[in-house]
Chains A and B, each alone.
Chain A
């Protein structure tokens, strides 16, 4: 069981290792904290998420307000609550703490492998546990190693923050392969540009950028709800 989980997880190791490493380097170079490796390990172990790990650097550097941070977390990760729907049966009959851990470990990659696996229930549960632990470990090691390397080596760091922009562009590109995601992505993009433009006129650019996410998310949800009928019709076609 462990062997299957391990061999399935090798591509995840490559992905999490490199992306985590970059997030760790960014944390030590741009985060402005004294023990980046400690914070890298603690954060990557607690919330397992690529986008949040990169945003974490910004939050720490600017001491972002926690309320605003949680709002962003909700919007970025709400899709995970749908993943759980297709894992309800799989995780049934698992002990309380194990299930708590399996739930914490749901990510895009781990979820995809869990759903794809068609073992009998008893063996599948063990498979899921090994897989979750392995993926979790790759992520922690990636981020921590990156934070250590960033602190130890004189990495030429100017412009390295573009790694975060690239990560979002990569996720966006993957999402837009699916036709049904394109209109929501456009709505998100147009909303944020509109809010930024309006706020920049009132508050100036720097303040506008700092304040824009919450109003944008409100606008976005409103517009998405207004487009619901059309989008569901489009998806059914």
Chain B
């Protein structure tokens, strides 16, 4: 039957799936028959997303800082350069696949 890891992945996917659906369904469940959300709720809903994405970006960089001691890592030069390339391309051309591919390939070349 299922081993522990398999069970874990299934329950992870199912619980993330249910919560993802509930988040999206919330307005339909609450205001399906009319009504408006409290102002503070729509405020948090609006500003939380950029804050969370900024948090996750830093979280990724923290991961690189943990993986190798800074001195060995040229103080994150590869990460910073690839990050700057990604942001610059995205700002100019607005093409996510292009920016992500370029940033990742540069990083892969730098850490080789």
Contacts and interface: CB of A to CB of B under 8 A. Distances in A.
Contacts of B56: 51, 55, 76, 168
B1 interface: no
Given A176-B50, A231-B47, A166 B104 contact: yes
Nearest to B48: A78
Contacts of A209: 59, 62-63, 66
Interface in B9-28: 9, 11-17, 19-21, 23-28
Contacts of A216: 55
A81 B43 contact: no
B70 to A, nearest CB: 10
Contacts of A91: 28
B24 A160 contact: no
Interface in A171-230: 171-176, 180-182, 184-189, 191-193, 196, 205-206, 208-209, 212-213, 216-217, 220-221, 224-225, 228
B44 A221 contact: yes
Interface string B22-62: 01111110011000010010111111111111111111111
Interface in A68-86: 69-70, 72-85
Contacts of B77: none
Given A63-B8, A212-B62, A18 B101 contact: yes
B111 to A, nearest CB: 4
Size bin of chain A's contact surface: 35 or more
Contact of A158 (B31, B60, B90, B108): B108
Contacts of B46: 79, 82, 180
Interface residues of B, number: 67
Interface string A145-185: 00000000000101110111111111111111000111011
A176 B5 CA distance: 39
A81 B26 CA distance: 6
B100 A75 contact: no
Contacts of B51: 75, 184-185, 187-188, 191, 220, 224
B24 A188 contact: no
Interface stretch (A1-9, A99-107, A113-121, A122-130): A99-107
A135 to B, nearest CB: 14
Given A47-B17, A78-B44, A159-B107, A172 B57 contact: yes
B24 A81 contact: yes
Interface of B: 5, 8-9, 11-17, 19-21, 23-28, 31-32, 37, 40, 42-63, 65-66, 79, 82-83, 86-87, 90-91, 94, 96-97, 99-101, 103-104, 107-108, 110-112
Given A39-B13, A103-B25, A209-B62, 13 more contacts: A22-B101, A46-B16, A51-B56, A91-B28, A103-B21, A164-B60, A165-B86, A166-B99, A184-B48, A185-B50, A192-B58, A213-B59, A217-B52
6 contacts: A78-B45, A159-B104, A165-B79, A166-B103, A172-B54, A213-B59
